[in-house]
């Protein structure tokens, strides 16, 4: 029987809550399906990765805090006869938000972005001018969970410049316009398993905040997504997440169209409890992947 590692991380209390429940329910269902699955922490030095045939990146939520170690782990997996879901090449590409540049160059409608390379200096006036914005979001190019993410007015940006320049000595950042639509309309997440649409959620920030993550007080809703937004998300998943067990397309509606904020292919929360049958659809997608692997071998 194939040994399957369901990848998680060492929980230090940073991302607790509904993610644990989703992982537990998925784990129980996979066992019910007769699969030999076990939770494994991605950076646990005691794990012998060669004993697994399949590795599922479910919630390595701290990878961006340990990015060099994460890259080294991916390198190790590539040397083993193991199937990694999602594929290592895709995961490595997805770790750095510069992938948004690739998508933009291929015609995807991406939220406007200014890139700040490591070692550069933050010019607040220039960033506001280039984006034509009255308020901006600044965040690391390799990040998650809204870590080191700031919403700034021109005055706040000027006051924060010295601190941002300190951070820029350590890593690259990106700057995007603050989108009022995130507060007024919310942020969509479209979930795909094996490229097939499963469900969508609309995330809303709490009053006075811009972060939609549940651990910052954001709420999640399940309205029927507009057909045009879903079609755009499907196109992104089709073209840019081939061979992926799961993909989450995050975006906001701007002028009636989907503007991509993130294409999540590493450790996205999948909101499976928000949609009837989503856990089953995930399992069906996984079984199809396993069958495909058996056929290829």
Locate all alpha helices (DSSP H) within the chain, ordered by sequence.
18-32, 67-78, 88-94, 99-105, 124-131, 154-168, 180-184, 227-240, 278-296
Q: List strands edge to edge, sheet with 136-140.
A: 114-116, 173-177, 136-140, 150-152
Instruction: Please say whether the dihedral angle defined by the alpha carbons of residues 223, 224, 228 and 229, taken in this order, is positive or negative.
Output: positive
| Domains of the chain, first to last | 3-95+279-296 (3.40.50.20), 99-109+181-274 (3.30.470.20), 114-178 (3.30.1490.20)
Give the model's pLDDT for residue 184: 85
Instruction: Please say whether the dihedral angle defined by the alpha carbons of residues 87, 90, 92 and 97, taken in this order, is positive or negative.
Output: negative
Dihedral angle, C-alpha 24, 213, 190, 244, nearest 10 °: -60
Closest listed residue to residue 85, CA positions, set 290, 253, 271, 274: 290
Strands 219-221 and 3-8: unpaired
Give the model's pLDDT for residue 115: 93
226 near 218, Cβ under 8 Å?
no
Per-residue pLDDT of the chain (297 residues; tens, 9 = 90+): 899 999 999 875 555 556 789 999 999 999 999 999 999 999 999 999 999 999 999 999 999 999 999 999 999 999 999 999 999 999 999 999 999 999 999 999 999 999 999 999 999 999 999 999 999 999 999 987 777 899 999 999 999 999 999 999 999 999 999 988 888 889 999 999 999 999 999 998 765 555 545 555 568 998 899 999 999 999 999 999 999 999 999 999 999 999 999 999 999 999 999 999 999 999 999 999 998 866 665
Q: Quote the CA–CA distance of 228 and 152 in Å, as a whole number.
A: 31
246 near 86, Cβ under 8 Å?
yes
What is the Cα 45 distance to its own chain's centre? Answer: 25
246 near 279, Cβ under 8 Å?
no
Give the model's pLDDT for residue 19: 79
Give the model's pLDDT for residue 212: 47
pTM of the predicted structure, to 2 decimals:
0.91
């Amino acid at each position: 029987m194939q040994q399957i590692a369901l990848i998680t991380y060492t929980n230090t209390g940073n991302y607790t809550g509904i993610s644990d429940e989703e992982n537990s329910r998925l784990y129980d269902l996979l066992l019910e399906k007769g699969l030999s699955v076990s939770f494994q922490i991605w950076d646990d030095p005691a794990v012998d990765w060669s004993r697994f045939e399949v590795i599922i990146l479910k919630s390595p939520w701290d990878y961006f805090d340990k990015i060099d170690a994460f890259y080294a782990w991916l390198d190790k997996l590539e040397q083993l006869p193991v199937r990694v879901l999602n594929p290592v090449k895709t995961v490595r590409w997805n770790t750095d938000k510069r992938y948004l540049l690739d998508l933009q160059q291929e015609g995807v409608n991406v939220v406007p972005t200014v890139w700040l390379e490591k070692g550069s200096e933050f010019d607040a006036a220039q960033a506001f001018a280039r984006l034509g914005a009255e308020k901006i979001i600044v965040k690391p190019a390799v990040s998650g969970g809204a870590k080191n993410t700031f919403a700034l007015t021109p005055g706040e940006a000027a006051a924060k410049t010295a601190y941002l320049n300190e951070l820029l000595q350590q890593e690259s950042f990106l700057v995007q316009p603050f989108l009022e639509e995130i507060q007024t309309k919310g942020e969509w997440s479209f979930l795909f398993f094996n490229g097939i649409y499963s469900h969508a959620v609309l995330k809303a920030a709490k009053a006075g905040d811009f972060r939609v993550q549940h651990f910052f007080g954001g709420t999640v809703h399940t309205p029927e997504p507009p057909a045009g937004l879903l079609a755009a998300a499907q196109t992104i998943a089709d073209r840019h997440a081939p061979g992926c067990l799961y993909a989450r397309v995050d975006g906001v509606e701007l002028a009636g169209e989907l503007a991509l904020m993130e294409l999540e292919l590493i450790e996205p929360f999948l909101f499976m409890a928000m949609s009837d049958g989503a856990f089953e659809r995930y399992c069906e997608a996984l079984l199809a992947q396993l069958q495909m692997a058996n056929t290829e071998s």
